Amino acid sequence: MQSALLLLASAGAVSAQLATTSEPSLSQIQQAAATVVPSSPTSNVGGAVFKNFYQVWLENIDYDAAAGDENQKYLASKGITLTNYWAVAHPSEPNYVSAVGGDQFAMDNDDFIQIPANISHVADLLDTKGISWGEYQENTPYPGFQGFNYSNQKTYANDYVRKHNPLIIFDSVASNATRSTRIKNFTSLWDDVANNKLPQWAFITPNMTNDAHDTNITFASVWERGFIEKLENSTDFWNESLILLTFDETEHYPIGNRIFSILLGGAVPKELVGTTDDTFYTHYSTLSTVEANWGLPSLGRWDCGANIFQLVADKVGYTNYKVDTSNLYLNSSFIGPLSTNDYSNYSSVWAAPATGNETCAAGHGILQAVKDTWGKLTPTYNYTSPFPYDTVSGKDIKVSFSRNGTTWISGVNDTKIATTTSGTSPSSTSSTAAATSSGAASVNGVSGGLALALSSFISFAAIL
């Protein structure tokens, strides 16, 4: 581990032999923390609608539970409520990764994952125009920390977890100290605010207490409102920014994965404050929106066809898809190299992105590095669709797998999947999944009776 520590300590150094340990020792962490210097590059690149894009993610809350919280309502009153914004998978990690990588990469777990350097992500896109980027991960012990977690050292309560830190999961960030040292904790956030050193793009992850993971929507919303109110007076953070407040996924897995989301910040026009927007969005929309705003190319993955936040789409003249969300779940992953479930057709092959001159990124095409690396391969999926559709069947790309006796599904308008009830335990959950699917109830949230029936899921969902 010594070499890894030295490497992390010298900004700019690059090596393929970086620490891959999931649990560095406390003394290794302390050594690195004593030497690794945070980096805060800045830039000032104008965009169609906003100059900065910041997103704050909370954890594991169903749409209705968040929409009913008084502090969420307060925050919503200050901006635009996105009523049709969807997470893309379960559990946490594939959602975080999708928001920077444009794909879940078939991840169906929260494991210690390292995505190879030939897979591009949002930082590669931003770098094409020198747009500064970074992450603020509360309680990460030092910039670019790669361990699996860093807990409260007095109580050992969860604090920082790698699964909520999307860019560190990509080797081309983790193994490049110039990049990894932009992944900092909240101490650095307040320093950067005070010193006008905020990046133009930032992903913000509160600790496991503040983000509702180990607490609840009431606690997390009090925290979030306080956090936003502290930043509202920072011209740098607020005035020309689009700020997304969202959740990684719903708490309950068998229901549609729609999550309560809000757009705030000085980039929201006055006339839109207090309004709702029911355009269909997913975590991939955070990429397509950033691409359209700054005229960046696409990753050629699910960011390609993803709907663009309407206030940006209107400005750049892009027409969003209308998506029928009847029976939509988006509650499981695909099949591929990061799958750990017992798929009969497991594949270790990384999906090939689109590389042709497609309409991706509102017409800005595909990142050159993606074309160079993947251009000889046929795209694995039809990435120009607004969300996973199989080009052959015309249906959603779906998987069905069994875990703990429950069949997990991802489907839209697919009666075969909708009526799937296999598994033995817990039997109430699989029959509930089937019941949800038989109607078009998923967009409208969970009904009272269903919510009750689903409550047996809480403990299962909460571990993830």
Ligand X SMILES: *[C@@H]1O[C@H](CO)[C@@H](O)[C@H](O)[C@H]1NC(C)=O
Question: Which of the residues are catalytic?
Answer: 214
Site for ligand X in 338-357 (CB under 6 A): 350, 355-357
Q: In the chain, what is the straight-line distance between the N-terminal and C-terminal CA atoms, in Å?
A: 29
Q: Which residue has the tokens 């006796």?
A: 405
Measured from the CB of residue 220, what is the shortest distance to ligand X in angstroms?
A: 8
What are the backbone angles phi and psi of residue 263, rounded to the nearest 5°? -105, 130
196: Cα within 13 Å, side-chain hemisphere: 5
391 binds ligand X (CB under 6 A): yes
Site pattern 232..251 for ligand X (x: CB under 6 A): -x-x---x------------
Please, are residues 279 and 83 in contact by the beta-carbon 8 Å criterion? no
Please, are residues 420 and 390 in contact by the beta-carbon 8 Å criterion? no
38 binds ligand X (CB under 6 A): yes
Stretch of 67-75, 86-94, 212-220, 242-250 contacting ligand X, by CB under 6 A: 212-220
382 binds ligand X (CB under 6 A): yes
Please, are residues 168 and 93 in contact by the beta-carbon 8 Å criterion? no
| Beta carbons within 8 Å of 390's beta carbon, 6+ residues apart | 381, 382, 396, 397, 398
142 binds ligand X (CB under 6 A): yes
359 binds ligand X (CB under 6 A): no
Question: Closer to ligand X at the Cβ: 210 or 261?
Answer: 210
With contacts defined by CB under 6 A, how many residues of the chain interact with ligand X?
58
458 binds ligand X (CB under 6 A): no
Please, are residues 100 and 79 in contact by the beta-carbon 8 Å criterion? no
Angle between helix 284-294 and helix 92-101 axes, rounded to 10 deg: 20
99 Ramachandran zone, left/alpha/beta (phi>0; psi -120 to 50): alpha
Structure tokens at 155: 């109580």
Question: Closer to ligand X at the Cβ: 400 or 413?
Answer: 413
207 binds ligand X (CB under 6 A): yes
200 binds ligand X (CB under 6 A): no
378 binds ligand X (CB under 6 A): no
439 binds ligand X (CB under 6 A): no
> What's the sign of the alpha-carbon dihedral 339, 340, 345, 349?
positive
35 binds ligand X (CB under 6 A): no
Percentages of the chain per state (helix, strand, coil), in multiples of 5: 35, 15, 55
The residues pairing with 241 across neighbouring beta strands, listed in sequence order, are 52
44 binds ligand X (CB under 6 A): no
194 binds ligand X (CB under 6 A): no
Question: Closer to ligand X at the Cβ: 40 or 55?
Answer: 40
Query: Which of 114, 178, 347, 368 forms a contact with ligand X (CB under 6 A)?
Result: 178
Question: Closer to ligand X at the Cβ: 359 or 421?
Answer: 359
33 binds ligand X (CB under 6 A): yes
Structure tokens at 27: 């003394």
Q: How far is CA 292 from the centre of its chain?
A: 18
Could you list the residues that contact ligand X (CB under 6 A)? 14, 26, 29, 33, 38, 116, 118, 127, 138-139, 141-143, 147, 149-152, 156-157, 159, 176, 178-179, 185, 187-188, 207, 209-210, 215-216, 218-219, 229-230, 233, 235, 239, 266, 324, 326, 350, 355-357, 371, 373-375, 382, 384-385, 389, 391, 404, 412-413
